Amino acid sequence: MPKKYLTRRQVRERYGHVSDITIRRWIDAGRIDEPLRIGNRHYFSETELDEADRRAKADYRRARAEPPKHVPPHNKSE
């Protein structure tokens, strides 16, 4: 099965029309992998994006299962 690649525009649409800077931040943070660059264009592997989504979902579920690390103090005026 051939790999499918998405343009930056398609990636923005995939994630709800996020901005280019958001995609750059996700790359810098390691949330998604660096795109393949051909000439002056960027191509993102759909398989790698799917894997990144699975990792993010697992991280989210793990974080939701843990108790909060910080509980705000009670308001004494109540």
What's the gap between Cα 56 and its chain centre? 7
Secondary structure of residue 35 in the 3-state scheme:
coil
* Euclidean distance between CA atoms 53 and 50, whole angstroms: 5
Is pTM beyond 0.85? Reply is: no
Per-residue pLDDT of the chain (78 residues; tens, 9 = 90+): 788 999 999 999 999 999 999 999 999 999 999 999 999 999 999 999 999 999 999 999 998 898 777 777 777 665
